[in-house]
Amino acid sequence: MVSEALQSACDNAIRVSRRGDTRTGMDLARHAYRLARQESPEAELEALNASALCQAANGSFIESIATSIDIVNLAHQHSHRRAAAYALTTMAGSASYILDANDDVLEMLHVCRSEADALADAPLQVRIHNTFGLVYGNLARFDEADREYDRGIALVNQAGGRASLITPGYLMLGNRAFLAVQRARAATPEDLPRLVDDAERRIEVVLSVATAEMNIDAEARALFCLGQLRALQGKNVEALLAFRAVLTRAEEIRHNPRLIDTNIEMSKVFAIDLQFEKALEAMETAYEIADANRPTAKVATACEGIAAMYASLGRSREAAHYRAKTEREREVFGRDNEYAVRDLNAFWRAAATDAS
């Protein structure tokens, strides 16, 4: 059994992370783990699962995978099937970012779905629907992604409770809006107007939910999608207005991954408008935040963008410096990622066999 106080501490860490303050969420999860170690193995597993989820929400996917592996090993020692299933699901979600969206990740998720169904665990089933949606979206399997989000939203509305704590409905609505932007990016010119309209409708739904719930993170998610959509349409002034609104909200809740992504997107729009100084400034901001939140592939992405902006400004020496820095940063992250992939692949086969 897990004490009410410890469960509350774990839930608070997840709640804060889901509302966008991911750094505080990670701090709260670490505090919960310190408490849990004095309580019981079950409490320790609960706190570790909260930590892995908060790490993933912060974009710390390599750390999240390492924590998930520790959870599964500990869960097997104590015959705690549910804790292992939660960790495997987090692992599959984080793996989708370091392995890209591929068949190995889908295999992981199918195993997780079988476990969730066997346990009749609604919170876990909702998480799996959401993660399938993300992976299918990245594979451009848009119809399958939409079906997963629809099922997840229906289930979370029905189940409520911990299901809505762990994977809130607004989170999946935001992911559906982003999926619509992905569809629009992949569209033919003939289909683009229809898909832009669909994306706008989905974004409006998220904005209405954000207003009703006074949810800054949900609003920032929707505005980020709007900025991308307007950039796709070539409406650069509107895109920049949306991205600036995202920055205001992301800074308020200290959502570093969104600050990084938004500055990168703004830099692209500035560059299209030939505002290379502003583009450079935005990319340098992205670099500074990413550098303080390693390990992340966005460090190299930002370095590459800085190099491109210097080149556009005719500052060849600085451009060469950052091109070399880009390669060094890719090598550093690649080594970290390689170790994580190695450990994941070595671990997964045994874990999946045990789970099935």
- Residues 104-125 have pLDDT tens digits of 789 889 999 999 999 999 999 9
Amino acid 99: pLDDT: 66
Is there a cis peptide before residue 257, judged by omega within 30 degrees of 0? no
Question: Among the three residues 208, 234, 254, which one is the final residue of a domain in this structure?
Answer: 254
Q: Is residue 268 in some structural domain?
A: yes
- Which residue from 43, 45, 72 is spatially nearest to 355, judged by alpha carbons? 72
Q: Is residue 102 in some structural domain?
A: no
Both 285 and 333 in a single domain? yes
Both 248 and 283 in a single domain? no
Q: Is residue 351 in some structural domain?
A: yes
Alpha helices in 188-235, H assignment, sequence order: 192-213, 216-232
Both 195 and 280 in a single domain? no
Question: pLDDT tens-digit profile of 150-195?
Answer: 999 999 999 989 999 999 999 999 999 999 999 999 999 999 999 9
Q: Report the number of distinct structural domains present in the chain.
A: 2
Amino acid 344: pLDDT: 81
Question: Among the three residues 236, 254, 272, which one is the final residue of a domain in this structure?
Answer: 254
- The band of 354, judged by pLDDT with boundaries at 50, 70 and 90, is low
Both 279 and 234 in a single domain? no
**Is residue 50 predicted with pLDDT exceeding 60?**
yes
Both 204 and 276 in a single domain? no
- Which residue from 102, 93, 105 is spatially nearest to 68, judged by alpha carbons? 93
Both 294 and 337 in a single domain? yes
Both 353 and 285 in a single domain? yes
**Is residue 289 predicted with pLDDT exceeding 80?**
yes
Amino acid 335: pLDDT: 85
Query: Structure tokens of 293?
Result: 């939140």
Question: Among the three residues 202, 220, 254, which one is the final residue of a domain in this structure?
Answer: 254
Q: Is residue 318 in some structural domain?
A: yes
Q: Give the integer Cα–Cα distance in Å for 145 and 315.
A: 44
Domain housing 303:
264-356
**Is residue 331 predicted with pLDDT exceeding 90?**
yes
Both 289 and 240 in a single domain? no
- % of the chain at pLDDT higher than 70: 97
